[in-house]
Chains A and B, each alone.
Chain A
Amino acid sequence: MVSLKTKLGDWELDNPIIPASGTFGFGYEFAELYDINMLGTFSFKGTTKEARFGNDTPRIAECTAGMINSVGLQNPGVEAVMEKELPKLAKVFNKKVIANISGFSEEEYVYCAEKIGKSDMVGIVEVNISCPNVHNGGMSFGTSAESAEKITAAVKKVTDKTVYVKLSPNVTNIVEIAKGCEAGGADGLSLINTMMGMRINLKTKKPVIANKMGGFSGPAIFPVAVRMVYQVYEAVKLPIIGMGGVSSAEDVIEMMLAGASAVQVGAENLVNPYACKDIIEALPGAMEKYGINNLYDIIGGAH
């Protein structure tokens, strides 16, 4: 019998598969299809202090082996998430979840972290400093080591929960940002968020997406994600949740060899709502094929 178990710090997961924030809603659409308790855990939709409608539509553009989204953090706001979404989620999911939060100022990050950190259902607070879809926020905190460190430290101060910081690939040197988060006291890192991308409609000769640019994700970005996880693993001592283009059990193994302790699956959930279930079920076979008994043992194995 192979073992799929892994650990994020001292949180033991049944398997490393975690649906990525923004691609799994608050879980119920998927709970109608399969028992989502089979997941390692999942990361819910990016939550902000105030409710947000997000960007104008069209928000989605197709790409070769991927897609661009410019949703722009549509969410009902942290209070509504705690009062309405989490109690509903509790009916279909009995593990702790990852709370993905975002903000437009340090104060907003702190506000969200403090609130959501009070929920018993939350295992990790995942601080998104890498959303490419909102102006003056999100990503700008994730593009310098100093601001990444500052936000991390501010969030750490207001919650006892484990804090993971989610990094942007849209930077010159992701290792510097990762080190900034480590210096700020992060317990772990999630990477990567989407890459800035754009499509132009040849018929209208204008951008496909109303916001012009958006975040590119899906299988096409997998090699970039593997490279970044590999680099960050060498530079910091923190556990890493690896993501970006994961769509198969083999991808999960590759991401873990690069240095990920667990793996998030994003865009793939949208085209195959059973993606995470399919990957979990395919993992034992793939492990046997590559002579792996214990997934936990292969973390960083490529180094």
Chain B
Amino acid sequence: MEKTNFVINSNKKIASDVYEMKLSGSVKDFTAPGQFVNIAIEGLYLRRPISVCNIEAKENGQGELTLIYKVVGKGTEKMSAMTEGTVLSLLTALGNGFDTKRCEKSALVVGGGVGVPPMYGVTKKLIEEGKKVTAVLGFNGAGDVFYEEEFKKLGAKTVVTTADGSYGIKGFVTDAIKIMETEGGEAYDFDETFACGPEPMLKALYNATDITGQYSFEERMGCGFGACMGCSCKTKYGNKRICKDGPVLVKEEIIW
């Protein structure tokens, strides 16, 4: 973890209520995709946790972070109005992140809504490691879809679902996965799942597949770095803090 200032390079709308922010600063402490930052926002007491979507590392530990966030309340509303050049205080490299080494050959990457952003970083790393990736991205409707092209550019087989059927496959991510399972063979040869999204999606996925995997969770946070016990959850491996021992839990330890 590092407490450090970042400068906003760009901040633009990429889907309904969803923004992509790029910022420059020190990225030296990041160790894995799926880690998050905690952002101080002027006028608000608590920091706001947002997952890292992508890191473009430059020299001397500096680099550019991409964050994707949905406007849901005061903090994200303020973020959406921020302009290029604005300086933000971030706590960086929080949480454990995903362990891409647990995947041997072929990964099923699943993202739902604003759970999609961290899956971009995971996909990028898996592909760099020479693994095959199938990404299933779930949204509510056509207006909510983002980053389909970006996943394709990384080289992932990318499938989009929308709940209302206005784009891609109609239904939930699990419906798309059922289709792959029925097809079988190459289409369903995964040895690890990586997932982030709303809890009902994670639970449906957990029940829908027998594949081992890593699931990223959300909780209201006080600190984001393990000091307050605000974000605890019970797992089969004991009590964990989502912010420090998570946000990624392995499938074997999850208790719903």
**Residues of chain A at the chain B interface (Cβ within 8 Å):** 22-25, 29-30, 32-33, 45, 53-54, 57-67, 69, 71, 74, 208, 218-219, 267, 269-274
Contact = CB atoms under 8 A, between A and B. Distances in A.
25 contacts: A22-B229, A23-B227, A24-B227, A25-B229, A29-B227, A30-B227, A53-B232, A54-B232, A57-B232, A59-B220, A59-B231, A59-B232, A61-B220, A62-B44, A66-B45, A69-B228, A71-B228, A71-B232, A74-B239, A267-B45, A269-B223, A272-B3, A273-B1, A273-B223, A274-B3
A62 B45 contact: yes
Contacts of A23: 223, 227-228
Task: Please name the 7 residue pairs, one residue from A and one from B, whose CB atoms are nearest each other, closest first.
Answer: A270-B223, A58-B220, A60-B230, A74-B229, A60-B220, A60-B222, A29-B226
Contact of B230 (A53, A71, A272, A274): A71
Interface of B: 1, 3, 40, 44-47, 91, 219-223, 225-234, 239, 244
Contacts of B91: 273
Given A23-B227, A57-B232, A59-B220, 11 more contacts: A23-B228, A33-B1, A57-B219, A59-B231, A60-B220, A66-B45, A71-B229, A74-B232, A74-B239, A273-B1, A273-B223
Contacts of A66: 45
Contacts of B221: 60
Q: Is the interface of B mostly helix, strand, loop or mixed?
A: loop
A25 B3 contact: no
A53 B46 contact: no
A60 B46 contact: yes
A146 to B, nearest CB: 32
A271 B46 contact: yes
Contacts of A61: 220
Contact of B3 (A58, A63, A273): A273
A32 B3 CA distance: 12
Most chain B CB within 10 A, of A61, A63, A64, A273, is at A273
A62 B46 contact: yes
A59 B230 contact: yes
A98 to B, nearest CB: 16
B219 A58 contact: yes
Contact of A45 (B223, B229, B230, B231): B229
Nearest to A57: B219
B154 to A, nearest CB: 33
Contacts of A53: 232, 234, 239
A47 to B, nearest CB: 12
B70 to A, nearest CB: 14
Contacts of A24: 227
B45 A33 contact: no
Contacts of B46: 60, 62, 67, 270-271
Contacts of A218: 45
Contacts of A69: 222, 228, 230
Contacts of B233: 57
Contacts of B231: 57, 59-60
B45 A63 contact: yes
A54 B222 CA distance: 15
Contacts of B220: 57-61, 208
Contacts of A57: 219-220, 230-233
Contacts of A219: 45
A274 B227 CA distance: 13
Contacts of A274: 3
Contact of A67 (B1, B3, B222): B222
Nearest to A70: B230
A67 B45 contact: yes
Nearest to B48: A62
A58 B226 CA distance: 15
Contact of A270 (B1, B227, B239, B244): B227
A53 B232 CA distance: 8
A109 B222 CA distance: 28
Nearest to B44: A62
B26 to A, nearest CB: 14
Contacts of B229: 22, 25, 45, 54, 59, 71, 74
Contacts of A63: 45
A65 B232 CA distance: 24
Contact of A22 (B1, B47, B226, B228): B228
A219 B239 CA distance: 30
B243 to A, nearest CB: 10
A33 B227 contact: no
A53 B227 CA distance: 15
Contacts of B47: 271
B142 to A, nearest CB: 24
